[in-house]
Chain A
Amino acid sequence: MLPRVLLADDHPEILNKVTSLLASTCEIAGKVGDGQALLEAVDRLKPDLIVIDISMPVLNGIEAARQLKKSGSEVKIVFLTVHEDPDFVQAALASGACGYVVKPRLATDLVRAVEAAMADRRFISPSLSMKKAQVPGSH
């Protein structure tokens, strides 16, 4: 049974690209354009995993992730973003995410990140220097 994945990004082309990349390995449960819509869709669709952008209108991705975790949701979270700053990585992981993929490495890293997440492993795009993002529990 394929994992049910919900996508959240305010950029339609990204959504399309991600859809095509994950089509063979996941069931795309839905697509939303902002953080608030994400919270509603998770509640409604109960996906196994969400792929979310950080910079989104209304409610940004990190804030949305925090709220989800706070509400007790066990959905797995993979961030897909152009932010390569370690502070973002740190903040993303701290908010409850288990994967962090930078968009330019989308083609190679996203499927691996989803697979890792489903296997309860953490995945961060290897192109990021992990030295700058010491994360609690990561070593």
Chain B
Amino acid sequence: MGEQARRHRISLTGIAILAPALLVVTGRPVCVASEGNAFKRILVLYSATADTELNSEFTRDMHLGFKDDAKPRVQIYSEYLDLMRFTTDDYQDYLADLLKHKYEGQEPDLVILVSRLAVQFGLTYRGALFPDAPIIYCAIDERFVPANLEPGITGIKFRVDIKGTIESALRLHREARNIFVVGGTSAYEKSWEGVIRREIEEMEPRLRFSFLTNRPLAELERELARLPKDSIVYIGTPIQDMAGEWAMPEIALRLICQSSNVPVYGSISSAYLGHGLVGGHMLDLGVQGKAAADLALRILQGEKPDEIPVSFVDANTYLFDWSELERWGINEKFLPAGSTFLNKEPSTWQRYHWHIVAVLSVLLLESMLIAILLRQRSGLRRAQASLQESEGRFRLMADAAPAMIWMSGTDKGVSYCNNSWLEFTGRPMEEQLGSAWIASVHPDDVDGCRAGYEEAFDARRKFVMEYRLRRADGEYRWMLDSGAPRFEGDGTFVGYIGSCTDITDWKGARQALSALGGLLINAQEVERSRIARELHDDLSQRLALLSTDIEQLSQQAEVSAPEMLGGLQEALDRTLEILNDINRLAYELHPSKLDRLGLVSASRGLCREIGEAQSLQIDFNFDAIPDSLPRDVALCLYRVLQESLRNVVKHSGTRRALVEMNGSPGEIRLTVSDEGVGFDPDRPHKDGGLGLISMRERLRLIGGRITIDSRPLRGTCVHVSVPLSAGAVNAPVSNEIEYEQ
């Protein structure tokens, strides 16, 4: 009943007295709810004054929790009670009375009590002020949470981590043995001193704790300035009351930190970091604000407070002031993992490391490129020097060479002639360059020479050609010019190089030799023919007559002298034998059949004779052979056939050969093939290859060609072709005797 009377007194007397003070206490304007508004009214009671940083984090995050789109919408009324400085019961009564009048008719839908003193006040005056409103308490250490709560009340709590802060400080100061705990003098602060003393008991064996409390600021400052080196300072709660001297907590903190000769750590709100504190396991009251807002919304949405248990919200984080760490030269590597820093300027590396990496990469790349280019340039210079030296050597060698050497570029024009060339033509270099050199070529050879060169050039082929070139003395000399395309290392075509040799003398010798060979062959054939004729036309005729005589004698002897018959018959047989031999010899010397019956008959006969004599099967096919051929052509083909068949007999090892003789306008082709052992045409045969030489020479005399296609074990095929000039074929006279067997 006494309490009721006291409250009544307040209601009567308090308003006039406390009104000015309340203007100060509630100096911060709050949202004002208008009548009939759908907004829910939330009354927030703070222990401290509005202007302390202690509340700033809480208020900010609580407001964030009541977002614009929060359901329901809320209107917040904040009251800053300043219960640390004003501690009398009367003050609290007057305060309650003021609030009662203030919120009459605008009773809150929910009340939030922030921190210990506001919680105590709110719970004490709940019945008088807001008996029906649910209550949420918050920002209160679990050590001071009131037990046995009335219905309609719930809350959230935290725990100031005294030991965690001291331990983290000791990791940074392993040499520290003295811990000086600084605290205030007010009852609230004293209550915390008690808590700290209990917490540190188990740490005391290894550390010495000293409590710097109950003394004015000046004395405190003096003491702090003379602390032993192996010390650190710990602050458990914000300090306001220093033996009756009151200061704003942040100012007191700043003065304490400034005067201390050792680092100061604390487990108070993170809002105080930045005033000289190194750091610690600090409270983030914003977390409490946000949690309180969430809880308030749940209740306003209809959840019953009694069904929501009081929850613990961990609001501690390891926070350090980077500038203080640097100031005290503290090694950050011993800080707890996950520490957060204030005032930590990101290093140049942290701020710009991508730029730095990019710039360094570009620099590196550029350096590499420069290095590569320098290397290439040096390689190029070496290559150029080497090329120059090589070119110099080439010129020296080319100029010393007896051969006439020339070079041309990709435009076909001559770009260089050696000394031998210049001396031979008697014209200076400038009269050779490009296509000027052609002026020295014999007029009859210019077209062929140019065509041959350009054709080979366009096909990038090697070439060999003969033409006449005017010597310095005006005489045209036959040159043998061989050229070959030039390619660089990478295959790029750069022109031609060639050399010329004067072959006039050699050509003359070759012609003479060739003529001599022809003469020899002709002479041989003429002589053979003469002997054959002698044998056939005279000796064999006379022998025939002799045999006839003997035969007639033997016919007469049959009647007159029978005993002579045997002798005559024997003489006749011997005569006939001689006659046969002579005929065969004559035929071998010169095939009379060729003259009398023509090439086809003679060739067929030859095949048959050799076939029979050597037990060889020789197939002879012919087609479109002119009836009459020039004697030299027919004889040549006959002799070549004879030689080829002789080779088949001697070397092939086979018993079969095929002879084909075909005529076409302008030429006759002869092919002699076998499927024998073959041979390597590039290697001269054991017999010295005289047969082949004679074949080639005979063919050359009449402009024919021979190719021998043979490989070991693959048989041999001799191809011969002989040209026929239009007038060379005589009138066909022997066609009537040609027929196939």
A-B pairs under 8 A by CB, number: 86
Contact of B541 among A13, A63, A84, A94 (CB under 8 A): A13
In the complex, the answer to whether B544 meets A104 with C-beta atoms within 8 Å is yes
Which of chain B's residues has its CB closest to A84's CB? Answer: B583
In the complex, the answer to whether B541 meets A103 with C-beta atoms within 8 Å is yes
Q: How far is the CB of B447 from chain A (nearest CB, A)?
A: 48
Q: How far is the CB of B282 from chain A (nearest CB, A)?
A: 135
Contacts of A136 in B (CB 8 A): 739
Q: With the chains together, A61 CA to B741 CA distance in Å? A: 23
Given contacts A82-B579, A107-B552, is CB(A54)–CB(B541) below 8 Å?
no
Contacts of A91 in B (CB 8 A): 596-597, 601, 737
Given contacts A17-B545, A82-B544, A106-B548, is CB(A63)–CB(B604) below 8 Å?
no
In the complex, the answer to whether A104 meets B579 with C-beta atoms within 8 Å is yes
Interface: B592 (CB within 8 A): yes
Q: With the chains together, A60 CA to B551 CA distance in Å? A: 28
Contacts of A55 in B (CB 8 A): 536-537, 592, 596
Given contacts A55-B536, A107-B551, is CB(A14)–CB(B736) below 8 Å?
no
Interface: B454 (CB within 8 A): no
Q: Is the interface of B mostly helix, strand, loop or mixed?
A: helix
Q: How far is the CB of A137 from chain B (nearest CB, A)?
A: 12
Interface: B555 (CB within 8 A): yes
Interface residues of A in 62-94 (CB under 8 A from B): 62-63, 66, 82-85, 87-88, 90-91, 94
Q: With the chains together, A54 CA to B555 CA distance in Å? A: 28
Q: With the chains together, A69 CA to B538 CA distance in Å? A: 29
In the complex, the answer to whether A60 meets B595 with C-beta atoms within 8 Å is yes
In the complex, the answer to whether B737 meets A85 with C-beta atoms within 8 Å is no
Q: Is the interface of A mostly helix, strand, loop or mixed?
A: helix
Interface: B547 (CB within 8 A): yes
Given contacts A14-B545, A82-B540, A87-B601, is CB(A108)–CB(B736) below 8 Å?
no
In the complex, the answer to whether A103 meets B544 with C-beta atoms within 8 Å is yes
In the complex, the answer to whether A62 meets B548 with C-beta atoms within 8 Å is no
Q: With the chains together, A109 CA to B477 CA distance in Å? A: 70
Q: With the chains together, A84 CA to B583 CA distance in Å? A: 9
Q: How far is the CB of B173 from chain A (nearest CB, A)?
A: 136
Q: How many chain A residues have a CB neighbour from B under 8 Å?
A: 29
In the complex, the answer to whether A134 meets B741 with C-beta atoms within 8 Å is yes
Which of chain B's residues has its CB closest to A108's CB? Answer: B551
Q: With the chains together, A63 CA to B733 CA distance in Å? A: 8
Given contacts A14-B541, A134-B741, is CB(A87)–CB(B593) below 8 Å?
yes
Interface: B576 (CB within 8 A): yes
Q: With the chains together, A17 CA to B542 CA distance in Å? A: 11
Q: With the chains together, A82 CA to B741 CA distance in Å? A: 24
Interface: A10 (CB within 8 A): yes
In the complex, the answer to whether A107 meets B548 with C-beta atoms within 8 Å is yes
In the complex, the answer to whether A66 meets B733 with C-beta atoms within 8 Å is yes
In the complex, the answer to whether A60 meets B596 with C-beta atoms within 8 Å is yes
Q: How far is the CB of A134 from chain B (nearest CB, A)?
A: 7
Contacts of A107 in B (CB 8 A): 548-549, 551-552, 555
By CB atoms of chain B within 10 A, which of A63, A94, A103, A108 has the most? A103
Residue interface bits B103-129, CB-to-A below 8 A is 1, else 0: 000000000000000000000000000
Contacts of B543 in A (CB 8 A): 104
Given contacts A13-B542, A82-B541, A85-B605, is CB(A104)–CB(B596) below 8 Å?
no
Q: With the chains together, A95 CA to B593 CA distance in Å? A: 15
In the complex, the answer to whether A82 meets B596 with C-beta atoms within 8 Å is no
Interface: A11 (CB within 8 A): yes
Contacts of A90 in B (CB 8 A): 737
Residue interface bits B570-608, CB-to-A below 8 A is 1, else 0: 000001100110010001000011011100010011000
In the complex, the answer to whether B548 meets A17 with C-beta atoms within 8 Å is yes
Q: With the chains together, A64 CA to B537 CA distance in Å? A: 18
Interface residues of B in 509-568 (CB under 8 A from A): 536-538, 540-545, 547-549, 551-552, 555
Which of chain A's residues has its CB closest to B733's CB? Answer: A63
Q: How far is the CB of A94 from chain B (nearest CB, A)?
A: 5
Contacts of B736 in A (CB 8 A): 66, 94-95
Which of chain B's residues has its CB closest to A136's CB? Answer: B739
Contacts of B552 in A (CB 8 A): 107
Q: With the chains together, A10 CA to B547 CA distance in Å? A: 19
Q: How far is the CB of B569 from chain A (nearest CB, A)?
A: 13
Contacts of A17 in B (CB 8 A): 545, 548
Q: With the chains together, A85 CA to B583 CA distance in Å? A: 10
Which of chain B's residues has its CB closest to A13's CB? Answer: B545
Q: With the chains together, A55 CA to B536 CA distance in Å? A: 9
Contacts of B601 in A (CB 8 A): 87, 91
B interface residues with partner A (beta carbon < 8 Å): 536-538, 540-545, 547-549, 551-552, 555, 575-576, 579-580, 583, 587, 592-593, 595-597, 601, 604-605, 733, 736-737, 739, 741
Provide 5 A-B residue pairs closer than 8 Å at the C-beta atoms, listed in order of the A residue.
A82-B540, A82-B579, A88-B596, A103-B548, A136-B739
Q: A82-B544, A83-B583 are in contact. List 18 more A-B contacts (CB 8 A).
A: A13-B542, A14-B541, A14-B544, A55-B592, A55-B596, A62-B597, A66-B737, A82-B541, A83-B592, A87-B593, A91-B597, A103-B545, A103-B548, A104-B548, A105-B548, A107-B551, A107-B555, A134-B741
**In the complex, the 6 A-B pairs of residues with the closest C-beta atoms, listed nearest first:** A103-B544, A104-B547, A91-B737, A11-B541, A106-B548, A107-B548
